[in-house]
Structure 1
Amino acid sequence: MEISSVATSASFVPTAETSEAVISSDFETFLKMLTVQMENQDPLNPTDSTEYAQQLATFSGVEQAVLTNELLSSLMVQMNTSGMAQMADWVGNEARVAAPAYFDGTPITIAPNPAAVSDTVELVVYDEAGEEVQRTALPLSAEPVEWAGTSSDGTPFPDGTYTFNVESFSNGEVILNETADVYARVNEVRSENGESVLILEGNVAVLASDVSALRKG
């Protein structure tokens, strides 16, 4: 998922004055065109007055549609800004989400969710290039575990972003393979396409709606 930073303060929200000025200008132009149409009609075959009434009604409908659309856009921006303000307290805490996590030498908490019928569960770790760098056995439990970020001989893995998959086996066959939930620190809350986006450690971006838990950092 590619998320780009959006500065909400730079977003343009149409004001009532702006909308009214534009519509007023358009209405004056419409009246001028209607006047010219009336002046240049065939006097022997004048336009039916009901046609003018229909044109006025059509313009009125368009005017109302424009005002309604602008009102809805303004409300959406206000609601999104309000949502981000409510999530301001998330910054500095740790969010639980199925996403890559940044490793800087500090152990990462992983929340596996193995299949209930599995008889063996393994944690598979991938680096930023997608290469498998470690595979270890996990208990048959959904209890969180700590990934120390060290190889079998105790050598620490390099700093970077790692992805954790939980593979559930039954009779030697993989029956479930999914990205594990991790706990990662929230550094920032952004707005993108009307949705609140969290920027985690290592510049990992996730949708706020994908977060399943939150805890103190």
Structure 2
Amino acid sequence: MTLITPTQPNAQASTPTGNANAPKKTGLASDFETFLKMLTVQAQNQDPLKPLDASEYASQLAQFSMVEQQVQTNDLLATLGQALGGANLDKLGKWIGMDVRAPSAFQYEGEPVTLFATPAPEADKAALVIRDGEGAVVDRISVSTTDQSIVWAGQRSDGQPLAAGTYSATLESYDGDALLSTQQAEVYDEVVEAQVVDNQVMLTLESGQVVTATTVTGVRAGT
């Protein structure tokens, strides 16, 4: 049931007086007094030949109550959303500036790069394969099966220095000539951006690579 539109103007009755400095109420029917004023105005402006009965007043009262409850619910949800969003932003902010270790391509700038990878337990030999940004193999280094970190000097297999750029490293574990496993090497890099994408925390590194927070295996203070 919708409200009756006044058929006759009644400026004196329909314009409640009040203090201009009084606080503004936010609910559609913020209190009982406001609702009574609305019913009074409606009664004064109804068609005397077709007056509203008590059931219609009760129906309108129920409608006011439902709308107010919905407004209050929306306000509560908005407050909760802001609180949860603030908590997420606080957590994301803690990543910024930290050095994280994750399987990722890395930026070589002329200085040796420390890479992290663990050979398979049953391997009797292992090799670190370096690829450039186009995926071409530029270096292949035999490494110990017990070492978990390798310092790459940034040179080709023939000893020629490589140009600065983006590279990646893969550790291959062998049992004799049989390839047991391949593992992308991890590297430390600084986090410059953190955001939530599809309910996952995504970290953008200084090298431009993007990794998920779940792949991070080490964190240290940024240099």
Q: TM-score, normalised by structure 1?
A: 0.65
Q: Aligned equivalents of 1:71 and 1:107: distance in 2?
A: 50
Aligned residue runs from structure 1 range 22-171, under 5 A: 24=27, 27=28, 55=63, 58-59=66-67, 62-88=70-96, 90=98, 94-171=99-176
The structure with the largest helix share of the pair is 1
Q: Which runs of 5+ in 1 are unaligned?
A: 1-20
Deviations 1:87-107 (A, max 9, x none): 4562xxx32111111001111
SS in 1 for 2:111: coil
Query: Larger relative CO (CA 8 A, sep 6+): 1 or 2?
Result: 1
Q: Report the counterpart of residue 190 of structure 1 in structure 2.
A: 194
User: Percent of aligned pairs with the same residue?
Assistant: 22
Q: Report the counterpart of residue 15 of structure 2 in structure 1.
A: none
Matching residue's letter, 2:91:
G
Q: Do 2:111 and 2:153's aligned partners in 1 also have CA atoms closer than 8 Å?
A: yes
* Alpha-carbon spacing, 1:153–1:192, altered in 2? closer, same or farther (3 Å): same
Q: Do 2:131 and 2:168's aligned partners in 1 also have CA atoms closer than 8 Å?
A: yes
Q: Do 2:130 and 2:137's aligned partners in 1 also have CA atoms closer than 8 Å?
A: yes
Deviations 1:63-109 (A, max 9, x none): 3542343223212321133224434562xxx3211111100111110
SS in 2 for 1:152: coil
Aligned with 1:213 (options 211, 218, 221)? 218
- Aligned residues between the structures: 184
Q: Aligned equivalents of 2:213 and 2:80: distance in 1?
A: 23
SS in 1 for 2:94: helix
Q: Do 1:122 and 1:135's aligned partners in 2 also have CA atoms closer than 8 Å?
A: yes
Matching residue's letter, 2:83:
L
Q: TM-score, normalised by structure 2?
A: 0.64
Q: Aligned equivalents of 2:58 and 2:145: distance in 1?
A: 78
User: Shift of the alpha carbon at 1:168?
Assistant: 1.3
Q: Name the Cα RMSD after superposition.
A: 3.7
Q: Aligned equivalents of 2:69 and 2:173: distance in 1?
A: 59
